[in-house]
Amino acid sequence: MRYLITGGAGFLGVALANHLVNNGHAVRVLDDLSTGDPARLDRRVLFSRGDVRNVPTLWTQLQEVECVYHLAARVAVSESILYPQEYNDVNVGGTVALLAAMRDVGVRRVVLASSATVYGEQPSQPVHEALRPNPGSPYAASKIAAEQYLFTLGKLYGLEAAALRIFNAYGPGQRVPPAHAPVAPLFLKRALDGGSLVIHGDGRQTRDFVYVDDVVRGLAAASQTEAAVGQIINIGSGEETSLRELVRQIAAVTGREPAVLNNTSQGGVSRLVADLSRARQLLDYQPRTQLREGLRQLLAKDPQFGQQRAAA
Ligand code: NAD
């Protein structure tokens, strides 16, 4: 197949693009490099720098494409509270621009990278796709809006659309920016550099940490399976892990006991773990990498941690 991946120079995009070219597909990437880095893309991937909200750019990029993965987005929950308008512009506006350009060019298949944050606080776990979303941040709200546009415009324009609600992905290649960093690589970095680790809330809150290779297999299956069309599908590990447990696992793989500071500020939703029934049924999806092994691989394969280990 011929694919376009928006946001394909980011953490998940690079992993997906490289997986697809390794499996014989032709892949183009469109990314504005606001946070992405194309250096890790396989040479066979055709990279272009551009904004996903720019429809004429999309017209060019969509030529000859059979399926689009829409990953371009602003992705930090805490940052979205500071800049809701920007999150709306990119995450919602970018999705609408893409769908309109797909209609214009005649590209029919699209897979949206949505997020488990749309569930918010729920009365019971694990969360399944039929639950009513309860967004707790502009980021989560932007992802629900993107899903709604995907299926509304998808129906109107005759598109074959699927949305994957991805849980807390982690793995090699994930950035650890100075602010609003994702928790798994941030804690690993702190453990290695001997700094203290700040947990917001009491650390009993749970999340579903899913290794990047599992996410990539879910994404790949979603574009290649008829049954995914018109569906929202959870992609997670199905394992519920508290932040305290994450710290214990990181201590085990690094051999270092990080100092933990509890910050009394709000730590997000109290529990979040994926019900994977639909992913199993429709995509034959089965997560393969458990947290301990995923952290080991992150430590072994990501150069930013390799250098840190060597320096320690
Ligand atoms: P990322 O920040 O590494 O990747 C996003 C990419 O989009 C970056 O390369 C960035 O430069 C690009 N981008 C941002 N604005 C753009 C614009 N206007 N035009 C073109 N490119 C733009 O994030 P990621 O973790 O790889 O996430 C990829 C997608 O998966 C996002 O849509 C995110 O919301 C979703 N997702 C990720 C996770 C996770 O845990 N990583 C969980 C749920 C959903």
pLDDT, tens digit (0-9, with 9 covering 90-100), for 244-272: 999 999 999 999 999 999 888 778 999 99
Q: Which of 6, 12, 114 gets mutated to test ligand 1 (max ligand atoms within 8 A of its CB)?
A: 12
- CA nearest ligand 1 atom 1, residue: 10
How many other CB atoms are there within 10 angstroms of residue 192's CB atom? 21
Task: Calculate how far, in angstroms, residue 31's C-alpha sits from the geometric centre of ligand 1.
Answer: 9
Q: Is 135 in the pocket of ligand 1 (CB under 6 A)?
A: no
Band (88; pLDDT cuts 50, 70, 90): very high
The protein residue with its alpha carbon nearest to ligand 1, atom 6, reads 7
| Predicted confidence (pLDDT) per residue in 108-164, tens digit | 999 999 999 999 999 999 999 999 999 999 999 999 999 999 999 999 999 999 999
The mean of the pLDDT values for the chain is 96
pLDDT at 312 over 80: no
pLDDT of 310 over the 80 cut: no
Q: Check residue 16 and give its pLDDT.
A: 98
Mean pLDDT of 236-243: 98
Q: What is the DSSP string of the chain?
A: -EEEEETTTSHHHHHHHHHHHHTT-EEEEEE--SS--GGGS-TTSEEEE--TT-HHHHHHHTTT-SEEEE--S---HHHHHH-HHHHIIIIIIHHHHHHHHHHHHT--EEEEEEEGGGG-S-SSSSB-TTSPP---SHHHHHHHHHHHHHHHHHHHHT-EEEEEEE-EEE-TT----SSS--HHHHHHHHHHHT--EEEES-S--EE-EEEHHHHHHHHHHHHH-GGGTT-EEEES-S--EEHHHHHHHHHHHHT----EEEE-S--S-S---B--HHHHHHH-------HHHHHHHHHHH-HHHHHHHHH-
53 in contact with ligand 1, CB cutoff 6 A: yes
Adjacent-strand bridge partners of 29: 5, 47
Q: Among 226, 221, 224, which residue's Cα sits nearest to residue 280?
A: 221
Q: What's the mean pLDDT in 202-224? A: 97
Distance CA 295, CA 291 (A): 6
Neighbours of 289 (CB within 10 A): 18
* pLDDT value at residue 169: 98
CA of 81 to the centre of ligand 1 (A): 17
Interatomic CA distance for residues 132 and 186, integer angstroms: 31
Q: Whose CA is nearest to atom 3 of ligand 1?
A: 10
286-293: average pLDDT:
98
Among residues 139, 149, 170, 211, the one annotated as catalytic is: 139
Would you say residue 306 has pLDDT above 80? no
Ligand 1 pocket: which of 11, 62, 78 to mutate (most atoms <8 Å of CB)?
11
Residue from 113, 103, 91 nearest 59 by CA? 103
pLDDT at 308 over 70: no
pLDDT of residue 307: 63
pLDDT score for 311? 55
Predicted pLDDT of residue 267: 80
- pLDDT tens-place string over residues 182-195: 999 999 999 999 98
How high is the pLDDT of residue 264? 80
Q: What's the pLDDT at 305?
A: 86
First to last CA, the chain: 45
Q: Does 139 contact ligand 1 (Cβ within 6 A)?
A: no
Residue-wise pLDDT for 15-29, tens only, equals: 999 999 999 999 999
157 is catalytic: no
Measured from the Cβ of residue 191, the count of other Cβ atoms closer than 10 Å reads 24
In short, whether 75's Cβ falls inside 6 Å of ligand 1 is yes
Answer yes or no: is the C-beta of 146 below 6 A from any ligand 1 atom.
Answer: no
Name the residue at shortest CA distance from atom 35 of ligand 1: 113
Enter the pTM of the model.
Answer: 0.97
Q: Is the CB of 212 under 6 A from ligand 1?
A: no
